[in-house]
Amino acid sequence: MIPAAFEYVAPASVEEALAALAEHGDDAKIIAGGQSLLPVLRMRLNAPEWVIDLGRIDSLRGVRDGGDHLAIGAMTTHHDVGQDPLVHEHALLVSKAITHLADAQVRHRGTFGGALAHADPAGDLGAPALALDATFVVQGPGGTREVAAADFFVDLFETAISDDEILVEVCLPKRAGWGASYEKFVRIAHQWPIVAVAATVRMEGDTIAEARIGLTNMGSTPVRARATEQMLAGQPATEEGVAAAAALAADGTTPPSDLNGDADYRRHLATVLTRRAVLAAAGRS
């Protein structure tokens, strides 16, 4: 497992990184935690001539309180995001998802921004980011721009980040007091989800005032279970009511078929897991 030879730079600022990216263009790849890129290089599925490491750019690391939102630096590791008290308080769904993400070694290396930029439809962070209406801050030669979660995920491994841009920050609107649950379905512990459901709800007494649900691996990008969300809004959090809404979760999805299950099975799983996730988020299980 030896990658092809490449040149390596580790710039100290985003500007320098952007300059390196501009200079080498198509021949360059950005490396964050390397947990997705390194296997690709080692298996020689890809052989960039330049690898630009964001690891020395301190400004890309950490969770910041931005007033009405949290700003998570792209290079913050899964571990650090998962342990962060602000994230726990204002974006519980992300904390929950991270406890299921890979294993401890990977969580200490892999980054929040890297995982989202990688845009694996089976990645555990896309659905929570989508459900929480995250805003992605990307920086390019012409400055920064913001991309809404709904526009960020374009296709399998494809995002709205252009070749000459870097994802610098992900902003999550604060949602203190929301219940959350991430139901991840796997065959063995250290696996990517076959299907997962990210659900977060705001309760008013016994009633679900608002529900936000993202589905993992139910298409080439993370998807929202809009029909379910709408049906849940204003409903009491009963087993039957939630089950009826969850039955709509897979509507309109185009899940893949692979070793772990075909599309039909995934659609079925999505409804079961949605019911469980919503009930758990509502504190009903």
Ligand X SMILES: Cc1cc2nc3c(=O)[nH]c(=O)nc-3n(C[C@H](O)[C@H](O)[C@H](O)COP(=O)(O)OP(=O)(O)OC[C@H]3O[C@@H](n4cnc5c(N)ncnc54)[C@H](O)[C@@H]3O)c2cc1C
User: Which residue in 43, 150, 154, 176 binds other proteins (CB under 8 A)?
Assistant: 43
Instruction: Compute the C-alpha angle 56/60/63, nearest 5°.
Output: 130
Distance (Å, whole) CA 215 – CA 232: 16
β-pairing verdict for 28-31 and 50-53 = parallel
Q: What single string gives the DSSP state of each residue in 164-225?
A: T-EEEEEEEE--TT-EEEEEEE-SSTTS--SEEEEEEEEEETTEEEEEEEEEESSSSS-EE-
| Interaction between residue 197 and ligand X (CB under 6 A) | no
| Interaction between residue 269 and other proteins (CB under 8 A) | yes
Among the residue ranges 70-78, 145-153, 186-194, 224-232, the one whose residues contact other proteins (CB under 8 A):
186-194
Name the CA radius of gyration of the chain, rounded. 19
- The set of residues, in sequence order, having a beta carbon less than 8 Å from that of 97 and lying 6+ positions away, is 124, 125, 127, 128, 182, 184, 196, 198
| Structural contact between residues 211 and 278, judged by C-beta atoms closer than 8 angstroms | yes
User: Which residue in 8, 189, 204, 205 binds other proteins (CB under 8 A)?
Assistant: 189
| Interaction between residue 9 and other proteins (CB under 8 A) | no
| Structural contact between residues 208 and 201, judged by C-beta atoms closer than 8 angstroms | yes
User: Which residue in 7, 15, 23, 27 binds other proteins (CB under 8 A)?
Assistant: 27
Cα–chain center distance at 247 = 24
C-beta closer to other proteins: residue 120 or 133: 120
Site mask, ligand X, residues 147-186, x = CB under 6 A?
--------------x----xx-------------------
| Interaction between residue 32 and ligand X (CB under 6 A) | yes
Distances (CA, A) of 162 to 23, 138, 166, 205: 15, 9, 8, 45
| Interaction between residue 130 and ligand X (CB under 6 A) | no
User: Which residue in 85, 190, 204, 240 binds other proteins (CB under 8 A)?
Assistant: 190
User: Which residue in 82, 123, 128, 261 binds ligand X (CB under 6 A)?
Assistant: 123
**Can you give the binding site for other proteins, defined by CB under 8 A?**
1-2, 4-5, 26-29, 36, 39-40, 43-49, 118, 120, 122, 156-157, 163, 185, 187-192, 194, 256-262, 265, 268-269, 272-273
**Can you give the binding site for ligand X, defined by CB under 6 A?**
29-37, 54, 74, 101-102, 106, 110-111, 113-115, 117-118, 120, 123-125, 161, 166-167, 192
